[in-house]
Amino acid sequence: MVPSQPSFLRRIGPRGGLRDNAQVGSVENIVIAKRTGVCYGVREAIDKAKIASASGKDTHTLGHVVHNEGLIADLRARGIKNVDHLDEVASGTAVVIRAHGVTPEVLGRAAERGLEVIDGTCTWVTQEHRELARLVEEGYDIVLLGTPNHPEVVGLLGFAPNAILVDEEEDWAFIPRRKRMALITQSTQPPWKFERLAAFLVSRCHELKVINTVCPVTIRRQEDTIAVAREVQLMIVVGGTRSANTKELTRLCEIGGTHAVQIESAQGLTDPDLFANIHTVGITGGTSTPIEDLERVALRIAELGGTDHVRTNAASIARAALEAAATPQYRTTSITNNTPA
């Protein structure tokens, strides 16, 4: 017969449930990847919306400017409304274009409706628009590497409606042979995929022009995520379920042999068994994930899976992980609640 455990070995677990001593956590070290937090493109769009609203404008965003519930709620609390179509916005009000950008037709419609357009298109994406327009003018057959229906891709196709859109490798065999081809990509596509497609296209045409528009922020984030994943036993990847760059981070960790779990926020971590026999945990986040959210996730990991020492000092350990990753100030927004426009 297995004797029942003495009460002093029993602990209060998450959600008030009892955990027995066998489940006392093993996590000793928590590392947040460097160069995480909201990317500059998303941050600028958020800031533009906040400035417009703070200056008294009736402000709308055309689609959510960020894939993060906390930041969306903050914008809503500031009176900034989200709409999916321009028709939902009254003439004369302000509309913020998100970092993904839009087609020239959408900008034209906004002008016709008499809306004040506040362009939050990321400068990197604006550069993609210019490159596409130039390739069209130069008469290239354009291959665009991107995820169908992704808002950035929808916007890009507005500048090159005849571009051949491809995503996964199985699509590539259907790319026709042409004399002069140009390759360009959605900003958050993985660099390895872009390089492989470029190599593939060499056999498809006589002249190939390659415009590398993979965003450097994405590349650096992937590098830092891989670096952390190599050092830990488990990775927690924080970002929206629809976020392509977040999914890619998860995939890269797994390819490197480190199990990765993707969550939207700290609330997504509920099972202490996830950390059973795990001593080191890494955290990374997508380009819409505020760095403050990564600290909350570190805190949650410490509380759920930490050793006695880590649990007792969970808050300071989470803060130390954040500070080791980056200076936290102004990584998400430079507009505080008290900052006048």
Residues noted as catalytic: 152
Q: Any contact of residue 217 with ligand SF4 (CB under 6 A)?
A: yes
Cβ closer to ligand SF4: 42 or 157? Answer: 42
Nearer to ligand SF4, 53 or 187 (CB): 187
> Does the footprint of ligand SF4 cover residue 318 (CB under 6 A)?
no
Residue 183, SS3 per DSSP:
strand
Helix (H, G, I), strand (E, B) or coil at 209: strand
61, 84 contact by CB (below 8 A): no
* Interaction of residue 239 with ligand SF4, rule CB under 6 A: no
In the complex, the smallest distance separating the C-beta of residue 90 from ligand SF4, rounded to whole angstroms, is 28
- Applying CB under 6 A, the span of 4-12, 39-47, 51-59, 321-329 interacting with ligand SF4 comes to 39-47
**Structure tokens belonging to residue 51:** 């400035």
Residues composing the chain: 341
Smallest gap from Cβ 151 to ligand SF4, in A, equals 11
Contact letters (x/-) for ligand SF4, 241-280, by CB under 6 A? ----------------------------------------
Other Cβ atoms closer than 10 A to 175? 18
Choice between 36 and 287, CB closer to ligand SF4: 287
Name the H helices within 2-150: 40-54, 69-77, 104-112, 123-137
Complete DSSP assignment for 239-265: S-TT-HHHHHHHHHHHHTT-EEEEESS
Region 155-214 residues binding ligand SF4, contact defined as CB under 6 A: 187-188
Chain residue at closest Cβ approach to ligand SF4: 41
Sheet arrangement for strand 178-185: 164-166, 141-145, 178-185, 205-210
Q: With binding defined as CB under 6 A, does residue 41 bind ligand SF4?
A: yes
140 contacts: CB under 8 Å, gap ≥ 6: 180, 181, 182, 209
Interaction between residue 125 and ligand SF4 (CB under 6 A): yes
* Residue 66 binds to ligand SF4 (criterion: CB under 6 A): no
Tokens of 307: 């050793």
Number of chain positions touching ligand SF4 (CB under 6 A): 14
Dist CA 81 CA 245 (whole Å): 26
Characterise 84 by phi-psi region: left (phi > 0), alpha (psi -120 to 50), beta (else): alpha
CA-based nearest residue to 251, from 312, 193, 291? 193
Q: Which of 215, 237, 266, 294 binds ligand SF4 (CB under 6 A)?
A: 215
Determine which residue in the list 218, 225, 243, 246 makes contact with ligand SF4, applying CB under 6 A: 218
Q: Which stretch binds ligand SF4 (CB under 6 A): 70-78, 88-96, 120-128, 173-181?
A: 120-128
Q: Which of 30, 52, 122, 310 binds ligand SF4 (CB under 6 A)?
A: 122
Instruction: Give the binding site for ligand SF4 (CB under 6 A).
Output: 39-42, 99, 122, 124-125, 187-188, 215, 217-218, 287
